[in-house]
Amino acid sequence: MEQLPSTATDQAPADPAAADDALASQPIGYWSGLAHTAVTAHLRDAMARIDVTQPQYWVLNRVNAPGSAPSRAEVVAQLAPLADGEHEIPRVIDQLLHRGWLRADGDNGTRLHLTGPGEAARARLRELVTGVRAVVHEGISDEEYVAALKVLRRMVANVEGVGASR
């Protein structure tokens, strides 16, 4: 049997009420999933109050990115991994074209551009997201936030490819 490194801590069942001194034994999947669900729901609820979705915000930001106007296919390819299904981003593009927040031109209407109302919506959403971020980060220093992300990034790196090599 493989020996665990001396820094390993036994895994305890997920416990939302775990005391600080017991957190090292808590499962990362539970806590990262809980954080993802809570933060995403809070953000999406705030956006819903102004009749916008998070994927719409993603598309507005992607189309606004520096460089040449992206094609519909480029936007779909970049954002599809974040979406709830392969059809979500194409539908969002259609919604934003219908709203008049995007326009298509170029090669058979495939290049996407923000319109004036689309840029105004993107700017309003940026303010909203900044406010939501302030609520989520309340009581958390930038240093603590960076440390948390570095830990998560390291955990991802630790397990990438592990299943494929076994």
User: Is 117 in contact with 101 (CB distance < 8 Å)?
Assistant: yes
Predicted pLDDT at 7: 57
Predicted pLDDT at 4: 47
- H/E element holding 111? strand 111-114
Alpha helices in 49-115 (DSSP H): 54-64, 72-79, 88-99
**Nearby residues of 26 by Cβ (< 8 Å), 6 or more positions away:** 12, 14, 15, 18
Predicted pLDDT at 41: 96
Predicted pLDDT at 20: 85
List the helix and strand counts (H, then E) for the chain.
6, 2
Ranges of the chain with pLDDT below 70? 1-9, 107, 109, 163-166
Cα–Cα distance measured from residue 43 to residue 53, given in angstroms and rounded to the nearest whole number: 9
SS3 state at 35: helix
Cα–Cα distance measured from residue 33 to residue 53, given in angstroms and rounded to the nearest whole number: 21
CA dihedral 87, 53, 112, 84 (to 10 degrees): -20
